[in-house]
Amino acid sequence: LHHDFIAQIPDSFLFAKYLKMSTEEIPITPIKDLENIILTDLKDNSTFKASSLWQDSPALVLVVRRPGCQLCREESIKIASYRDLISDKMGVKMVAIVHENLDNEVEEFNKGYWNGLLYYDKEKSFFTHIGGNFKGDGSVLGGVYIIHQGSKGVEYQYREKVWGDHAPFDQVLTAVKNVSTKKDDPVAMTALQETLEKVKKGEISFNKVLNSGPSCTVDGQCA
């Protein structure tokens, strides 16, 4: 249904609205700009510096535009469905970041579409650095960071170009490979390479994830 909705929006509107955003080259964010961001654990309202996310392991940080947005949920469930590969096998911590905490929206998102580590960025700092817009009509966009362990920095950064845009999954997997501390693990590397080949052949896509994701059921419950 959401694809039908997007299709009804005039191309001229989307083009005018996002031309600058889509063509602008966004430099990789220096790790020093991210490490002191204060995040909140909504389970107990405790706060901590973002640097702790990648202190002991590399991290994939999914910056969620809106937890109640179906397009955002689609990307989240896609990535979450490969938690066994990305986190368990490749050793990359997976974290979702939200900038709003509306009623039960975040809880519903995490339970049904992410089912993992999720933190609140009250000051919207991750969104600011990835290139989000908080002025005018407030068309906030999200994206993905993939960060090396320790202070080595950001390996990969993708900012959504328009609503519903997703980071190319082959790029995500390649970045996961580059930051992984398990490059010497033949089982992990074989699993990643096989998945990457399937992505390149078109056997894995966002449109198929609800039916064929390896770790998610059709209702979005992910292991």
Question: What are the pLDDT digits (tens) for 128-153?
Answer: 888 755 544 455 678 999 999 999 99
Does the predicted model carry a pTM greater than 0.85? no
Domain edges within the chain: 18-212
Q: Which CATH superfamily is domain 18-212 in?
A: Glutaredoxin (3.40.30.10)
pLDDT at residue 209 tops 70 = no
Six token digits for residue 202: 């078109």
Active-site residue (options: 31, 60, 63, 72): 72
One-letter amino acid of 204: I
Radius of gyration in angstroms for the set of CA atoms belonging to the chain, rounded to a whole number: 17
Q: Mean per-residue pLDDT for 9-15?
A: 43
Residue 8 to residues 3, 61, 210: CA-CA distances in angstroms? 9, 31, 24
pLDDT of amino acid 206: 57
pLDDT bin (cut points 50, 70, 90) of residue 101 is confident
Greater pLDDT, 167 or 73: 167
Asked about 216 being catalytic, the answer comes back as: no
Partnered with residue 143 across adjacent β-strands are 63, 159
DSSP state of 113: I
pLDDT at residue 189 tops 50 = yes
Active-site residue (options: 60, 63, 64, 69): 69
Asked about 72 being catalytic, the answer comes back as: yes
pLDDT bin (cut points 50, 70, 90) of residue 34 is very high
